[in-house]
Amino acid sequence: MQWTAFGLISLLLTPPANAQARPTLTLYSSVGYAKNVTEAFTKATGIPVKLVELSTGPLLARVQAEKQNPQWEMLWTEGAEPMRDLASQGQLQMGWKPKASWNTLGRRLLPGDLAYIPATTSLTGMFVVNTKVVPADKVPQSWADLNRPDLKGLVGMTNPAVSGPSYTSIAGLMTVAGGIQNGKNALTTLKKNGMQVFDSGGPLIKQLSAGGLGVAVTQSTRYVAALLDKQPVAAVYPKGTALLPTVFGISRRAKPDVQDAAHQLIEFFLTPAGQKFALESGNSASYYYPLVKGVSANPLVTPIEKTSFMQVDPKSWGPREGAINRPPAKVSW
């Protein structure tokens, strides 16, 4: 099923009285606008959605804890790496392709084996700079620049064990640094230079806005939110800035009618009409790059062609996430 105009959704807002009972779809999500989208989907189709919302790290930990008896039927998370790892464990339905008018970015992010379905993307590992703290001629242009003495204690990022975007940022850094150990060394050096670590992007940007930080290593959606809040910020896209897609995954163990409900939710979202509910949610996560034709990003979003970015290989970095996010206690980075 696919909707191509808002008018079609409007016709479905009141399900027919004789409609058969619809299966409840249990969705685990770390995406900020999931509630807006799922409520609109239920109104349009009559299919109820039980939404469980957590930050990416705790959500993925819960999924792993339920590995033998999954309580979820669908996932919607930030970063393709953890979804690829779940696919390698045999937890995901594979091979289903939604009807969608993909744009260039969408086609780039859609995996060949259809282990998961990309929904949106932003960029992560970019720098948001408080221009009142860091002079224009001192704005850092690379990860190495963050170690300058004048930036001591003024750089912050989020904890990858909690915040999904941070792991993709680290994977991008390690890729351009030439490997995991080089990336670890870079992070250790940053920590020695007083890098501050936060559990989530909200407190990170709050500290940046208050002047307690000069540079936040974060995702592009946070930059747009700061602009809308009229903060004095500048954006830098250093080498290693990576695409950060939000992705859908469907449980291989879900019943066929529930899998069909998940298919309908995905196709609902991958239309201009469905994306309206995310783009107008007011959540900072909604300042993304759309992956389907006929949808425009917020005007303050830096055009993708004006940025420098890479695509982290999920097959390479997915299996490494647990070890990198939760290193031995003796490792300081």
pLDDT computed for residue 212 by the predictor:
96
Domain ranges (residues) in the chain: 6-121+243-304, 124-242+318-325
pLDDT computed for residue 186 by the predictor:
94
pLDDT computed for residue 157 by the predictor:
95
Domains 6-121+243-304 and 124-242+318-325 in one fold: yes
CATH domain 124-242+318-325 topology? D-Maltodextrin-Binding Protein; domain 2 (3.40.190)
pLDDT computed for residue 57 by the predictor:
86
* 50-97 tens-digit pLDDT: 999 998 889 999 999 999 999 999 999 999 999 999 999 999 999 999
Distances (CA, A) of 2 to 18, 19, 211, 266: 22, 19, 47, 9
Mean pLDDT by 10 residues, the chain (333 residues): 44 44 92 97 97 92 93 96 94 97 97 97 97 95 96 95 87 94 94 94 93 96 93 95 97 97 98 95 93 96 94 91 64 42
| 326, two tokens | 């939760």
pLDDT computed for residue 116 by the predictor:
98
What are the strands, taking DSSP E only, across 162-241?
Answer: 196-198, 215-219, 233-236
Specify whether the backbone of 179 is left (phi greater than 0), alpha (psi in -120 to 50) or beta. Answer: left
Are 6 and 273 spatial neighbours (Cβ–Cβ below 8 Å)? yes
Residue 77's nearest CA partner among 58, 96, 91 is 58
- Alpha carbon dihedral 114, 254, 322, 309, in 10-degree steps, equals 30
Task: Output the pTM of the full model.
Answer: 0.89
pLDDT computed for residue 3 by the predictor:
46
CATH no. of 6-121+243-304: 3.40.190.10
pLDDT computed for residue 15 by the predictor:
46
